[in-house]
Amino acid sequence: MERTLVLIKPDGVRRNIVGEVISRIERKGLKLVAMELRTLDAETARTHYEEHAERPFFGSLVEFITGGPLVAMVVEGERAVEAFRALAGATDPVTATPGTIRGDFALEVQQNIVHGSDSTYSAEREIKLFFPDL
């Protein structure tokens, strides 16, 4: 069965919508396989977002994602990568469709509540980074 890495970013934890996000994942029929509340160190954050290392917002993104506890989860199900990206909505919450997590709860592109792996290849790399024992 396909797996994806989901993060409820520090803004989601700060705003007390962890339960809301998990509820949407469960209602969709996806299964939680692993879950942890933790604060990322900068090195793990840089590795996680390594494909964005050259982007102008990289420093700010690393600061944001390490700025408080986040919830990391492994989520499993039929086409889990695509299924969760559909629940999350577009990267920019202003244009994310209402009904999606970002469309319903966010307004700023950086503070967009959740992360979901963008391919099965990324999922494998990210799951190893967050849950090396899985």
CA atoms within 13 A of residue 118's CA, in its CB half-sphere: 5
> Distance between CA 79 and CA 58 in Å, rounded?
29
State the binding site for ATP: 9, 57, 85, 91, 102, 112
Tell the smallest beta-carbon distance from residue 87 to ligand GTP (Å): 12
* Token pair 């290392």: residue: 53
| Residue 10 in contact with ligand GTP, rule: CB under 6 A | no
| Residue 77 in contact with ligand GTP, rule: CB under 6 A | no
Is 115 known to be catalytic? yes
Q: Please tell me what DSSP assigns to residue 41.
A: -
Structure tokens at 39: 């604060």
Check if the beta carbon of residue 25 is closer than 8 Å to that of residue 17: no
Interface residue with ligand GTP, options 25, 70, 115, 127 (CB under 6 A): 115
Tell the smallest beta-carbon distance from residue 19 to ligand GTP (Å): 20
> Distance between CA 63 and CA 90 in Å, rounded?
22
Interface residue with ligand GTP, options 33, 35, 61, 129 (CB under 6 A): 61
| Residue 110 in contact with ligand GTP, rule: CB under 6 A | yes
- Among 3, 24, 48, 115, the active-site one is 115
Write phi, then psi, for 19 (nearest 5 degrees): -60, -45
CA atoms within 13 A of residue 69's CA, in its CB half-sphere: 10
With CB cut-offs between 5 and 8 Å by kind, which of Mg ion, ligand GTP, none does residue 110 bind?
ligand GTP
Q: Which residues are catalytic?
A: 115
Chain positions contacting ligand GTP, by CB under 6 A:
52, 57, 60-61, 91, 109-110, 112, 115-116, 118
